[in-house]
Amino acid sequence: MILGCELRVVTPILRMSLNMIPVAPPIPLTLETSNASNVQESLQTSETFTNLREQISLRCGTLLEETSTQDVESRKAYQYCLQIFGVEKTEKCRLISSYLPVTPVLQNGPRCGLVALAMASTLTNNQPVITEDIFKEAQTRGYSKQGEMFMAKDLQALAASFLKCPVHHCLVDSKDLFSNLLKHNLILIPYDADKNFSPCSKKGHKSHWALLTGFFAMLEANKVTDQLTSECVRDDEIHNLHYWPHTASQALCEETVQLLQENLESLYVFGHQGKSRYVGLWSLPRLIESNSNLTEAGQMRPSGEYVIPDGDIEQGLRGQMIVINRNQDT
């Protein structure tokens, strides 16, 4: 099974083993470990940062990277398929992609859930929510001490307060998850993060929060109907890469849900998390498996320093996700 990767610079076409999946680069410089006055000066003189972005960057304590685009990330995913599966197999498939660009926010301390929520706000609110504001509210409510969020229901409550759309706490279900992604909704989901931030299974000792904003499906051509390809938009450069429509018919959604359910091993998700500015491309079955293995916070997270539920994170995180309904009629 292909576990996933970070979509960084596209490399030449070659086959890769799992051990060759790239490891993320060091976390970019933050205000806590740099000369704050120099960083502020560089922000003010950079033409790529507006006043709003300067304020958000300084209050978050971390520099924000530029937002990517759907075609860029989808073409990187295509290159990843070439590397893993080879040209012949990839070319015989129909690739269906949907990705909502996100401005990355990097976390300071154990604030992965709060940062994931802040990133979600860039897609739901006119004014993005500041991580520090969410953190203060979490402390006030007794949800967190250092920014940790070991209760999915608590993060859902914060999301409901800060986001300008409906937010639901749900049990993890593959069909429900990608049904929401087909509707361009957002998913906040906890999982164990490996060294390259892809999903792994460490019993919850590496528990982390991610924001899912899209999917990438690699489907055999004979399983894809003409209706699906006709309603999607074909990429200008890659003949078998198609973009999921912004507004899909109910019939098309139902057909695609059934198709993806039957081909779950060929389904990936685009994920953002607070320790890297790069988009992750992760196997959905592997992500769900990682989520279902969250049972204990581990000795490195003593209860006196963190807010941990009585039933440990098995009660607070395992088998749970948060759905953010950007389209309020869904």
pLDDT per residue as tens digits for the range 280-290: 999 999 999 99
Q: Give the 3-state secondary structure of residue 4.
A: strand
In this predicted structure, the answer to whether residue 66 has a pLDDT above a threshold of 80 is no
Q: Predicted confidence band at 125 (pLDDT cuts at 50, 70, 90)?
A: confident
Of the pLDDT bands very low, low, confident and very high (cuts 50, 70, 90), residue 20 is: very low
Bridge-based pairing of strands 93-99 and 241-243 is: parallel
DSSP H helical ranges for the chain = 36-45, 51-60, 70-85, 87-91, 112-121, 131-140, 152-162, 174-182, 226-231, 250-262, 284-292, 312-316
- Tell me which residue of 86, 78, 40, 116 sits closest to 216, measured CA to CA: 78
**Tokens coding 274:** 């607070």
DSSP alpha helix (H) spans, 141-201:
152-162, 174-182
Cβ-contact 205, 296 below 8 angstroms: yes
Is pLDDT above 70 for 297? yes
Distance between CA atoms of residues 163 and 36, nearest Å: 30
What is the rounded distance in angstroms from the CA atom of residue 286 to the CA atom of residue 174?
A: 11
3-state secondary structure of 282: strand
Torsion-angle region of 61 (φ positive above 0: left; ψ -120 to 50: alpha; else: beta): left
- The highest-confidence range among 34-38, 242-246, 252-256, by mean pLDDT, is 242-246
- Residue 167 pLDDT greater than 90, yes or no: yes
pLDDT category at 302 given cuts 50, 70, 90 is: confident
